[in-house]
Amino acid sequence: MNISKSFIREVPKDLQPRERLLTYGEKALSDQELLAILFRTGTREENVLNLALRFIDHFQNLNELKHSSIEEFQQVKGVGPVKAIELKAAIELGYRIATSAVPKYGHIVSTKSAGEWLITEMADLHQEHLVVLFLNTKNEIIKKQTIFIGSVNSSVAHPREIFKEAVKYPTARIIIAHNHPSGDTQPSPADLHFTRRMIACGELMGINVLDHLIIGQHEYLSIHETTNLFD
């Protein structure tokens, strides 16, 4: 007899993860239940729900799973190569779905679409990255470029570095973005000072600075929308 399957059958049918997903939809399920569906079976010692809970506790939070290897998954007792490979594939598929709407060169971009895209690109970076989107007169992306890695209050964060790149292309507008590794999207005084300098230099160069986005873990902040610097 397959003991692991009998364990899950001891749970009332309306509480089993697959049945709950069919009845209530995927958003009603906990992380434990979703992972249990991916794992499918438990072990001789525990059912799949307990295995899923112990697995999540081992990694502390779901974000850690993105950066963990198949070998690290298998360090959890009860997770063998098959479960580890299937989970890794599911995580990668989820990432590809999340980034499938990424604006491509030549596509029209807005602050909202740029912010949502850059969350997927920058949320997990451990250092600050300053990224610039160079746009033409139709707000189509010409180029996306990381200008530097550091801090916006560093001496390398100078407008000339950005506009030196901008004039290489038929740039009419730019969107600036940088991440806060802490996850806090509130702008610092240095962020605001840098934004003022960028706007002023853009006016001199005839290149409109549309926005400066601060990227956090799960959200972004638009300095254009939350301050009067662009008035």
Q: Indicate the helix (H) or strand (E) that contains 177.
A: strand 173-179
Euclidean distance between CA atoms 40 and 52, whole angstroms? 10
Euclidean distance between CA atoms 150 and 158, whole angstroms? 12
CA 201 from centre of chain: 31
Does one domain contain both 85 and 27? yes
Nearest CA to 164 out of 207, 194, 102 is that of 207
How is residue 208 written in tokens? 């409109």
Report helix, strand or coil for 150. Answer: strand
Q: What is the pLDDT of residue 88?
A: 96
Q: Is 106 part of a structural domain of the chain?
A: no
Q: What is the pLDDT of residue 110?
A: 86
Does one domain contain both 206 and 123? yes
**Total number of residues shown for the chain:** 231
Euclidean distance between CA atoms 132 and 147, whole angstroms? 7
Euclidean distance between CA atoms 97 and 90, whole angstroms? 11
Reading the chain (231 residues) residue by residue, the pLDDT tens digits are 344 444 555 566 767 899 999 999 999 999 999 999 999 999 988 999 999 999 999 998 888 898 899 999 999 999 999 999 999 999 999 888 876 666 666 677 788 889 988 998 898 888 999 999 999 999 899 999 999 887 665 544 688 889 999 999 999 999 999 999 999 999 999 999 999 999 999 999 999 999 999 999 889 999 999 999 998
Q: What is the pLDDT of residue 10?
A: 56
Euclidean distance between CA atoms 139 and 157, whole angstroms? 24
Does one domain contain both 92 and 137? no
Euclidean distance between CA atoms 210 and 34, whole angstroms? 40
Q: Is 196 part of a structural domain of the chain?
A: yes
CATH number of residue 18's parent domain: 1.10.150
Number of domains in the chain: 2
CATH number of residue 214's parent domain: 3.40.140.10
Q: What is the pLDDT of residue 2?
A: 41
The secondary structure of residue 188, as a DSSP letter, is: P
Does one domain contain both 126 and 91? no
Write down which residue in 74, 98, 122 finishes a domain. 98
Domain with 10, as residue range(s), is: 3-98
Write down which residue in 98, 130, 155 finishes a domain. 98
Write down which residue in 54, 74, 98 finishes a domain. 98
Q: Is 90 part of a structural domain of the chain?
A: yes
Euclidean distance between CA atoms 183 and 185, whole angstroms? 6
Does one domain contain both 86 and 153? no
Does one domain contain both 206 and 160? yes
Does one domain contain both 45 and 142? no
Euclidean distance between CA atoms 219 and 116, whole angstroms? 8
Q: What is the pLDDT of residue 14?
A: 66
Q: What is the pLDDT of residue 95?
A: 81
How many other C-beta atoms are found inside a 10 Å radius of the C-beta of residue 27?
Answer: 7
Does one domain contain both 81 and 176? no
Q: What is the pLDDT of residue 74?
A: 97
